[in-house]
């Protein structure tokens, strides 16, 4: 999901670390109509410098919902006269807005979308204010539907730092077994490459003739 909005590494690492730092019970998700919902918060700066905070729930979209969001984005793009080739970045942003509109839900039963009308989310919230919640949604997507190749570099760094700090493997339980194997084997390969580089450097220093 992260291919649409560019998520800065510091934002991605922060939300990944926040998720990895909790047990599954501490994530405070709830199940409604056979779907998981996670507490989150929309924020935007007010004129007095404070933040307006809107509690929401996040529901990770499934493939049919993502297709629906992309069709809605194409409809907006056509209405606004955007060119698929020249305005591809703007259209990708529209797709992201519409995916978020499906994902962001009311905190009360029946947890309907808070921004059900096409383009409403984009009008009410700045793009900068949506990057963080998109990063949260992306991290949740990986947590509930992980795959061996879905741990990005920012998550790898956050996970490694967490494991080193806590000296236990608890944070790995967020991921499925395939993703855990991917992480362990990737880090093992990196460690072996580091050892090989160090040994090569030491060998080169030992073979250097003294003056």
pLDDT tens over the chain, length 211 residues: 544 565 555 555 555 555 655 655 666 778 888 898 999 999 888 889 888 899 999 999 998 999 999 999 999 999 999 988 889 888 889 999 999 999 999 999 999 999 988 888 988 988 878 888 988 888 788 777 655 456 777 778 888 888 888 887 777 766 766 778 888 899 999 999 999 888 888 777 666 666 5
Please answer whether residues 89 and 4 qualify as being in contact, where contact means their C-beta atoms are separated by less than 8 angstroms.
no
Half-sphere exposure of 104 (CA within 13 A, CB side): 26
Please answer whether residues 156 and 17 qualify as being in contact, where contact means their C-beta atoms are separated by less than 8 angstroms.
no
Q: What distances in angstroms separate CA 52 from CA 43, 95, 188, one per listed residue?
A: 6, 25, 45
**Which residue bears the tokens 């990057």?**
131
Please answer whether residues 63 and 35 qualify as being in contact, where contact means their C-beta atoms are separated by less than 8 angstroms.
no
* pTM of the full structure: 0.62
């Amino acid at each position: 999901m992260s291919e649409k909005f560019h998520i800065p590494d510091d934002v991605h690492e922060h939300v990944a670390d926040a998720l990895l730092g909790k047990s599954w019970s501490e994530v405070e998700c709830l199940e409604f109509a056979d779907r998981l919902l996670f507490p989150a918060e929309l924020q935007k700066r007010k004129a007095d410098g404070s933040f307006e905070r809107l509690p929401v729930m996040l529901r990770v979209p499934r493939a049919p919902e993502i297709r629906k969001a992309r069709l809605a984005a194409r409809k907006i793009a056509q209405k606004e006269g955007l060119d698929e080739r020249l305005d591809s970045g703007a259209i990708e942003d529209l797709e992201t807005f519409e995916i978020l509109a499906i994902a962001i839900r009311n905190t009360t039963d029946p947890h309907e979308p808070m921004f059900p009308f096409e383009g409403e989310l984009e009008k009410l919230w700045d793009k900068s204010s949506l990057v963080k919640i998109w990063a949260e949604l992306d991290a949740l997507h990986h947590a509930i539907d992980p795959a061996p190749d879905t741990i990005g570099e920012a998550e790898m760094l956050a996970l490694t730092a967490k494991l080193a700090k806590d000296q236990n493997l608890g944070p790995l339980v967020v991921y499925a077994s395939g993703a855990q194997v991917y992480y362990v084997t990737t880090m093992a390969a990196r460690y072996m490459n580091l050892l090989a580089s160090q040994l090569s450097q030491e060998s080169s220093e030992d073979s250097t003739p003294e003056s």
